[in-house]
Structure 1
Amino acid sequence: MPVRTAIVRARVGLHARPAARFVRAVLTTGLPVTISRDGRPAVDARSLLEVMTEDFRFGCTVELSIADESLPHQRSPAAVEKALESLRDLVESSLAG
């Protein structure tokens, strides 16, 4: 299972605009990405409601992952890794704009 760990750097956490920007980025990957924190169950990172409800605050560590069995077969492992790294970098940015 491809996994990346990131620290939320948006001052308001993944709430409102930063969450919307993150979810849009996840949707553009076309991958079934999940996000979790503190050993809690993962939520669908493609769902703005689920991401906002989970209350990912500034400074918390999150885990971005994709279950191997959920991967689209036409995607190369390198493309999947690159997409997750891009999402990790976005979470670790201020998510401004």
Structure 2
Amino acid sequence: MIQQSVKVNKKAGLYAKPVNQLVQTASQFNADIYLIYNERKVNVKSVLGILSLAIPNQAEVTIEASGEDETEALKEIIRHLEES
């Protein structure tokens, strides 16, 4: 298992369109991937789970990945969250 913190760089935070893109990216990997914000942990492959966190722009979140392709998954999820 690996994890890393990152700042969300989405102008309006994580709302419907960026969340859908994030879930599509995460679904390409076999690893279990979680997003942790305000002591809540949700599966990154769940649109409703991520939306329930109401993550604003510039929020600090932690991404946790475990599985055979965890390193690649972590890199892609972080890249997605950091691009505006």
- TM-score scaled by structure 2? 0.90
Deviates more, 1:19-28 or 1:81-90: 81-90
Give runs of ≥4 in structure 1 deviating > 4 Å: none
Deviates more, 1:23-32 or 1:47-56: 23-32
- TM-score scaled by structure 1? 0.79
The yes-or-no answer on 1:47 pairing with 2:46 is: yes
2:80 corresponds to:
90
Q: Distance in 1 between matches of 2:12 and 2:79?
A: 17
2:7 corresponds to:
7
Does the CA-based 8 Å contact 1:19-1:51 persist in structure 2?
yes
1:61 corresponds to:
60
Shift of residue 26 of structure 1?
A: 0.6
2:24 corresponds to:
24
What do residues 17-47 of structure 1 show as CA deviations (whole Å, max 9, x unaligned)? 0111011101111221000123x12111110
Greater Cα radius of gyration, structure 1 or 2:
1
Gaps of 5+ in 2: none
Q: Distance in 1 between matches of 2:18 and 2:46?
A: 13
Does the CA-based 8 Å contact 1:8-1:92 persist in structure 2?
yes
Which structure has the highest strand share of the two?
2
